Structure 1
Amino acid sequence: MTPGRPQAVLFDLDDTLIEYAPAAAREREAVTEAVRDHLPTGAVAGFLDRFDAYLFRHHAEVDTGRVPVAEFRDRRLRHAMRPWHSPDSALCRRVAACADATAASVGLAAGAAAVLAALRDDGVRVGIVTNGPLGIQTAKCTRLGLTDAVDTLVTSQDVGRTKPDGEVFHEALRRLGVRPGAAVVVGDSWENDVLGGLRAGLAGAVHIGPDRGAVPAPPGLLGRAERAGDEVLHLLEDLHA
């Protein structure tokens, strides 16, 4: 292994190894069109606020497997439409299909496959740690070839907890046979990935995404990269430089 490289690197999935945001935006548009005729004029914005808020407050229920995916989707839609309409089963199925289309349409982030291959060629153990239902996240990884490109995949449903809980990171590292102090996390979420990984005792973190400006950098932050490409490799090489 190249001097200075960690023994393991844990990658987030959505908006790190895969381009999730564009597909999510298309889903939002499709859901809006699906419900528009069932809402009074001017109510779409209020519906979307409620639709988003329910996911924000309750995502851990489906991400850990406590609530089945289909049931969670129905609950979310019914909550969002409650002030105006009670959705029937046909509308629930139509909105659920929008989410299925999102999972089926995401693509790999530019450079992601090459980074994973380069790390493994260099003897670094590679894992994915992701919040999300086991079936959905595994299906995305399988379709995009990520299952064979990493050494382990740990979802929040596997652990029964969601990032930033340290047990998600620790379970991946147990599977890899690497102690936290010899590992690094790479992800787009400041709270879930960067701070979550560092609080779990990992040696360093790379933030994927835009510059956070004046936000103080925590000890262990190796730097920022626009995407999971060559920039990540350069930052990892500098870990113990």
Structure 2
Amino acid sequence: MTRPHAVILDLDDTLFDDTACTHAGLGAVARAHGLKVDPAALFERHAAHIRAIDPLLFSGQLDAHGARVRRFSGLLTELGAADPDGEAATLVYRAAYRQHWRLLPGAPDVLRDLRAAGLRLAVLTNYVREVQGQKLAHFGLDALVDAVLCVEDVPAAKPDARAYHAACAALHVTPARAVMVGDSWEKDVQGALAAGLRAVWVSRTGRPAPDAGVPVVSRLADLPAALGLVPA
């Protein structure tokens, strides 16, 4: 890859370990309600409720807390919980989720390295600033990037081309000079490529990319080499 002028990074499961936090929160909810359910199945059911409710959150019909209450009310009802109290479950979930906050290894270091190499940096996330801003500020990542674009800040969420173009505009670069980095093949790679950017896929399991032309990293420490900044 030829040297880019800017790098745009996803947040959840690219810099921040959202999957681990979510599993911790869901495990706490399951224990509080005496639910015997496979953790992987619970994770997928929870994700389905998020997908169903996110449009209400993104349109402003619900705030982040209200969206959580609605999804846990629905999830607990679906699982046959004796007391599907979404408010109580939200408090349990958030306490465990927040307790397990952590970055993926190397996140601050790689941002510092990219900045030291003279690249402009942005975070582009498909979630609300109320939540994502807290994560970035807690770990000091907001001070390591030039722009943060949450779902409220763009005309449409990834993989809509307008999301990536908004990030490029915030960094004052053309799409051809920018690289999108993220864990979602659809939202961080395919969408970026279709919008005229290049992309690097973060595949934590080491799974190869569906498109052999897309660089893949399994750890953030390998990102500078994938961007052509240092020898691979």
Same fold (TM over 0.5): yes
Task: Find the aligned partners of 1:132 and 1:100 in 2 and give their Cα distance.
Answer: 19
Superposed displacement of residue 123, structure 1: 1.5
From 206, 228, 231, the equivalent of 1:237 is 228
Q: Which amino acid aligns with 1:99?
A: R
The corresponding residue for 1:72 is 67
Superposed displacement of residue 103, structure 1: 4.0
Give matches, 1:159-198, under 5 Å.
159=154, 161-198=156-193
Superposed displacement of residue 22, structure 1: 1.7
Task: Find the aligned partners of 1:20 and 1:50 in 2 and give their Cα distance.
Answer: 16
Structure 2 unaligned residues grouped into runs of 5+: none
Which has the higher mean CA deviation after the structures are superposed, 135-144 or 61-70?
Answer: 61-70
Q: Deviations over 1:31-90 (max 9, x none)?
A: 111222xx6xx6x46x936544212333343256442112211211222233545634xx
Q: Who wins on radius of gyration, i.e. which is larger? A: 1
Which has the bigger relative contact order, CA under 8 A and spacing at least 6?
A: 1
Cα-Cα RMSD: 2.7
Equivalent residues of 1:9, 1:186 under 8 A apart: yes
Superposed displacement of residue 177, structure 1: 0.6
Equivalent residues of 1:27, 1:99 under 8 A apart: yes
Give matches, 1:8-157, under 5 Å.
8-36=6-34, 44=37, 48=42, 50-63=45-58, 65-82=60-77, 84=80, 85=82, 87-88=84-85, 92-103=87-98, 105-157=100-152
The corresponding residue for 2:216 is 224
- The alignment-based identity, stated in percent, is 33
From 176, 187, 202, the equivalent of 1:208 is 202
Task: Find the aligned partners of 2:59 and 2:121 in 1 and give their Cα distance.
Answer: 22
Superposed displacement of residue 128, structure 1: 0.4
Q: CA separation of 1:165/1:218 partners in 2, compared to 1, >3 Å: closer, same or farther? A: farther
Which has the higher mean CA deviation after the structures are superposed, 193-202 or 140-149?
Answer: 193-202
Task: Find the aligned partners of 1:98 and 1:81 in 2 and give their Cα distance.
Answer: 12
Equivalent residues of 1:34, 1:95 under 8 A apart: no
Q: Which runs of 4+ in 1 moved over 6 A?
A: none
Task: Find the aligned partners of 2:99 and 2:194 in 1 and give their Cα distance.
Answer: 33
Task: Find the aligned partners of 2:32 and 2:66 in 1 and give their Cα distance.
Answer: 19
Report SS of the residue matched to 2:191: helix
Superposed displacement of residue 124, structure 1: 0.7
Q: CA separation of 1:159/1:67 partners in 2, compared to 1, >3 Å: closer, same or farther? A: farther
Structure 1 unaligned residues grouped into runs of 5+: none
Report SS of the residue matched to 2:141: coil
